[in-house]
C-alpha cells in the first residue's frame, strides 16, 4: 500500500488531565500517514484521486483545536476517525500525537501515542 505523510503539524491546544493544562494550553504536534493506492492520482495527475494535504491538516486541526479531551489516546482515536471518514480513498491511517511539555517531573524530549486504524468495509 502506498503512503502519504503529513508530519510535524503544530498546534496550541487545551488538552490534559490537569486543570492548568485546560486553562493555559500547550504545544502539541501530530504526524499522520494515510495508506492508499496513489497510482490513479499519479498516472492521471488528478487531485480528486488522492487526498489534499491541506484538507488533511484542516481535519487534524479541527480535532486538536476545536475539541478538548483529557488523554492523548483520545486525540489519536478522534483524529484517525475524522481522517478515515473524510477521505474515502484512504484504507488505513497512522496517527502520532506528541505532547512535548507534559506536566510530569523528569528529563525527556516528549511523550507520544501512536495508533494505526483501518477502514471497516
Q: Which residues are catalytic?
A: 99
Residues 6+ apart with CB under 8 A from 116: 92, 93, 94, 95
Amino acid at each position: 500500500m502506498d503512503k502519504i505523510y503529513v508530519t510535524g503539524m503544530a498546534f496550541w491546544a487545551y488538552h490534559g488531565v490537569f486543570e492548568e493544562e485546560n486553562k493555559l494550553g500547550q504545544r502539541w504536534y501530530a504526524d499522520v500517514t494515510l495508506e492508499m493506492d496513489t497510482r490513479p492520482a499519479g498516472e492521471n495527475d488528478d487531485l480528486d484521486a488522492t487526498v489534499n494535504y491541506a484538507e488533511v491538516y484542516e481535519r487534524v486541526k479541527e480535532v486538536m483545536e476545536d475539541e478538548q479531551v483529557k488523554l492523548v489516546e483520545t486525540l489519536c482515536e478522534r483524529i484517525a476517525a475524522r481522517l478515515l471518514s473524510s477521505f474515502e480513498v484512504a484504507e488505513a491511517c497512522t496517527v502520532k500525537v506528541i505532547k512535548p511539555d507534559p506536566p510530569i517531573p523528569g528529563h525527556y524530549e516528549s511523550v507520544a501515542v501512536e495508533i494505526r486504524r483501518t477502514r471497516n468495509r
